[in-house]
Chain A
Amino acid sequence: QVHLVQSGPELKKPGASLKVSCKASGYPFTKYGFIWVRQAPEQGLEWMGWISTYNGNTDYAQRFLGRVTMTTDTSTNTTHMELRNLRSDDTAVYYCARVSGLITADYYYGMGVWGQGTTVTVSS
């Protein structure tokens, strides 16, 4: 059975860095990439970017450029999302989701497998 299991909740101070992990199981890890999506309290869904597990290619949302880094570790079937210089408006639930495509993302078929979400609170 396909699962994505994310790391636990985080409480961070403004200016700190965050690293959320997403461990995959139940399928060949390098056959799919990952996206990260976040959801601020009572808000909608925001795409942060994509990473290929095949070659490490990334595609980040413009608003996160310079602050976000997505990595992948094929030895542990885990993908990570690091967000730096945190602000209070980074408080959100962060989700990883599996997406088709090896070298480039193929979003046509949607994201059918999601992690459970990681709650991140940024507060002084």
Chain B
Amino acid sequence: DIQMTQSPSSLSASVGDRVTITCRASQSIGSYVNWYQQKPGKAPRLLIYAASSLAGGVPSRFSVDGSGTDFTLTITSLQSEDFATYYCQQSYSTPLTFGGGTKVEIK
């Protein structure tokens, strides 16, 4: 199974901050990575697919860099609605696996 390791597991930030979340795959997965945002009590929401493509309706302050084994999700100017937990997920092979999540909290 491909392991997806996210860091940090949590962070505190203020509105307007630049936030970065990293995800490392245990083997090369090319661009087969997706990112989700999840708010408490809600289903995950697809943010980015195929490593760097924004899903419909996702604001351009979200972006992803990387390929192979290392990926970085950046939120350029954190907004109040961005406080949530973020997950990376590899789509290279089954079983699909997710990172452990990064909780973005208000400082």
Query: Residues of A with Cβ closer than 8 Å to B?
Result: 35, 37, 44-47, 50, 59, 61-62, 95, 97, 105, 107-112, 114-117
Contact = CB atoms under 8 A, between A and B. Distances in A.
Contacts of A95: 43-44
Interface of B: 32, 34, 36, 42-46, 48-50, 55-56, 87, 89, 91, 94-101
Contacts of B99: 44
A4 to B, nearest CB: 9
A105 B29 CA distance: 17
Contacts of B43: 95, 97, 114-117
A97 B45 CA distance: 10
Given A45-B87, A117-B43, A107 B100 contact: no
Chain B contact residues: helix, strand, loop or mixed: loop
A44 B101 contact: yes
B91 A47 contact: no
B98 A44 contact: yes
Contact of A44 (B45, B49, B96, B100): B100
Which 10 A-B residue pairs are closest in the complex by CB-CB distance?
Answer: A107-B91, A110-B49, A110-B34, A114-B43, A47-B96, A45-B98, A112-B46, A61-B95, A110-B46, A109-B49
B80 to A, nearest CB: 23
Contacts of B97: 47
Nearest to A47: B96
Contacts of A105: 94
A112 B55 contact: yes
Contacts of A112: 46, 49, 55-56
Contacts of A50: 94
